[in-house]
Structure formats: structure tokens, C-alpha cells
Structure 1
Amino acid sequence: MDTIITIQGDTWDTIARRAYGDERAAQALMEARENIRLLDYQIFPGGVHVAAPALPEETQQDSGLPEWRR
């Protein structure tokens, strides 16, 4: 499991983009057990450690998009 250290002004989707390359993975970040204590944040201060667990297989595949859009 990776850990992302926030930069002031980060949001869940910007953290997901940095961790996974896709802001649509923000839900997976928020559902991670290690991040439950962080759910009150909408905009993060700098220096907060956010756990970035491996994505479930169904989250990694986007069958509705062509290869070049993934």
C-alpha cells in the first residue's frame, strides 16, 4: 500500500489522480479503512498522510472507454 502526502489544497480527486492516474478512483480512496478518519476533509491541508491501497480489479478496468481514453 502506498501513502500519498497531501499538498495544501488537495481534494480527494486530486489525490486519486496522483495515486492512480484517474480521479474517478477517489471513491476507492475514501472507502479505504485507513482513510476513515480523513472523511471530514473536503480540502486537505498540507502534510496529511493518505493511504492509497491497490484498486479492486473491477475499478481498474473501464470497459466503456476505448484503450486510448483509459
Structure 2
Amino acid sequence: MKYYVTTQGDMWDSIAQDQMGSTDHTGLLMRANMRHTLLGAYIFPAGVRLVIPDIPQRASGGLPPWKQKK
């Protein structure tokens, strides 16, 4: 887990993209920072410290080794 300090105008989706690699992680970012979510923050002022959560690893969608073609 790491932290990010906002700059004026940052938004949830742009922070997720820049810090976590995809806007797909916006919900994860918001859940990790519920205090700011509950305050209704969508556009941040400068200086807000947010938690950047670790991105869960997905299991590979491939077949188990015994079912793979060789």
C-alpha cells in the first residue's frame, strides 16, 4: 500500500489511472478512502492524502497444465 497527495483538480478516475494503471480500479480506490467518498469529494483540492491500495492479483484464466494442448 502507498499514499498519494492530490493536486488541485485531481479526480477519482484520473488518480486511479495515474497511480494504479487503469480507471477500472476507481471503485477500489474509493473504497480504500471511504472518508473522502462519504464527504462527496469528486474534484480534490491540493494536499489531500489518499491511500492507494494494492491491486489484487487475478488468477490466470488459462487451463490447468493437464488440459493444455502441447
TM-score w.r.t. length of structure 2? 0.73
After superposing on structure 2, the runs of 4+ consecutive aligned residues of structure 1 that deviate more than 6 Å are: none
Shift of 1:20: 0.9
Count, aligned residues: 58
Matches within 5 A, 1:37-52: 37-39=35-37, 40-52=40-52
Give the Cα separation in 1 of the matches to 2:22 and 2:36: 20
TM-score w.r.t. length of structure 1? 0.73
| One-letter amino acid of the structure 2 residue matched with residue 8 of structure 1 | Q
Deviations 1:33-55 (A, max 9, x none): xx111102010001100100101
Residue 15 (str. 1) matches residue 15 (str. 2):
yes
Give the Cα separation in 2 of the matches to 1:46 and 1:24: 24
Q: Secondary structure at the match of 1:57?
A: coil
Taking only aligned residues, the RMSD between alpha carbons, in angstroms, comes to 1.6
Consecutive unaligned residues in structure 2, runs of 5 or more = 62-70
Consecutive unaligned residues in structure 1, runs of 5 or more = 64-70
**2:65 matched residue in structure 1:** none
Residue 36 (str. 1) matches residue 41 (str. 2):
no
